[in-house]
Amino acid sequence: MSSKPKTGVFQAAFAQPMGEEARAQELFNKQKAYFASDATKSYEWRIDQLDRLTRMLKDNYKRFCDASCNDFKTAVQENVFEVSASIASSEFTKSQLKGWMRPVEAPIPKFLGASGHKGVVYREPYGVTLIICPFNGPLLLSLRPAVAALSAGNPCMLKLSEALPATDELLLELIPRYFEPEALNAVVGGKEVVTKVLTFPFDFIFLTGSVGVGKVVMRAAAENLTPVLLELGGQNPAIVDETANIPDAAQKIVWGAMAWGGQWCTSPGYAVVHESIAEQFVAECKKAVVELYGTDPKSNPDYSRVISPAAVTRLTSLIDPKKVVYGGKSDAPARYLDPTILYPISWSDKIMEDEIFGPLLPILTYSDLGKLLAKIKSLPKPLAGYVFSRNQQAIDRVLQSLSFGGGAVNETNVFLFIETMPYGGVGSAGIGNYYGKYGYDSLTHAKSVLMSPPGEAIDHLFPPYTKEKVQAVNQWFEY
């Protein structure tokens, strides 16, 4: 593939009006044929795709920031981070890719090594990859998976979220300018388009979304036995014990619950606080809201919007007015909901039934850590888990006992900023992980090859099977 984008080919192919389902089918067919040519397997092709991605983002930096802001991320740091982190992900991957692609020699039984054999593990791309993108990371949760796919040698199709009109319009304009459609393309559309696209025999499917959508994708993938990577969600706990630094814990949990309009899959879904410090913690949370967003968050550009009026309506239905200790006001047409703190909340309250995905922080209390851990373990596994404590024994107990995708001690959310740590769910929170080398490994198949010297036979494998030959089989277990 040449380094210059062949925009003419793309434009000519779609000069005539075409429905999105038909366009998706044509793009898929192109990618399948292209992958079969082996063009995507070279180091040069992969670096070229990452270069194109970086150029697209850098050349249009402000346009992407503005689009994210128009869609819902009004906070400058949040819409800038969408672009900057996507560039950083591509650049980090470029710096490491050559090493990742090297075949790895594996230990083999001693007798094989002595006779000149060698075990080698190659990593090969799966093939044409579908990336189903959510709204809450307009670029990060579409282009970061694309970095993993392209670095692994997989052409990919992005199914963009309909909830992001400004970002979608920009991506649909720019991707054909910077990429050949055989390498990376994007489609957008509702249920009909998704349903159609999921019938295509993709070689890999990558979804970031809800548990419900994850089940739909797995059912569709089963028809073609397509491997999947599912980044889902859950109701993420933030445990605050009696030894915690309470002002610090309150500020970090409030920020974690309210940043991005509360619409991040690793946001603390609830704080559960030792009963001896609950009142102090609630007071510090109220103080933290004002420190972070002021007394009028609606007028504060550092406080992002909710994705849609319908989402605001759903979130307000979860609020018990009797338990609002801060916030609670909303303006659905303006896609606004106060940063809201609710206390005291019980496990049976409506807001605890499912992932909230909005700027609401329910606060519960506990008295016995063992009983609390048992309760959390009885629920679906969360994507993230947080513990605030100065007691290392308590920290170790929480980390050893609870299963969750990833998390932090005395912090929230920011573990997902780190490119060298795997990010992924477990149980109902997801399957598989990505970021950096972990994404590369997830999007490639480990192909094992035993290299044998010509003419070097392993005689004990061939009949007639004497006693000595049978005993020689034990050599396979000696490393």
List active site positions.
231, 265
Cα dihedral: 412, 413, 417, 420 (round 10): 70
Place of tokens 């061939």: 462
Q: CA–CA separation, 141 vs 137, rounded Å?
A: 5
* CA dist 226 → 33, 96, 206, 208, 215 (Å): 18, 28, 10, 16, 14
Pairing, β 129-132 against β 156-160: parallel
Pairing, β 129-132 against β 184-188: unpaired
Q: What angle, rounded to 10 degrees, do the helices at 76-101 and 61-71 form? A: 120
* CA dist 112 → 106, 249, 475 (Å): 12, 57, 9
DSSP state of 128: S
Q: Which of 192, 150, 157, 154 is nearest to 171 (CA)?
A: 157
Question: Contact 172/180 with Cβ under 8 angstroms?
Answer: no
Q: CA–CA separation, 330 vs 360, rounded Å?
A: 12
Question: Contact 53/147 with Cβ under 8 angstroms?
Answer: yes
Q: Which of 417, 238, 410, 428 is nearest to 341 (CA)?
A: 238
**Phi–psi pair at 327, nearest 5 degrees:** 80, -140
State the sign of the Cα–Cα–Cα–Cα dihedral 401, 407, 411, 415: positive
Helices (H), 37-109: 43-59, 61-71, 76-101
User: Which amino acid belongs to residue 148?
Assistant: A
**Is the backbone peptide bond immediately before 107 cis, with ω within 30 degrees of 0?**
no
Q: CA–CA separation, 77 vs 71, rounded Å?
A: 15
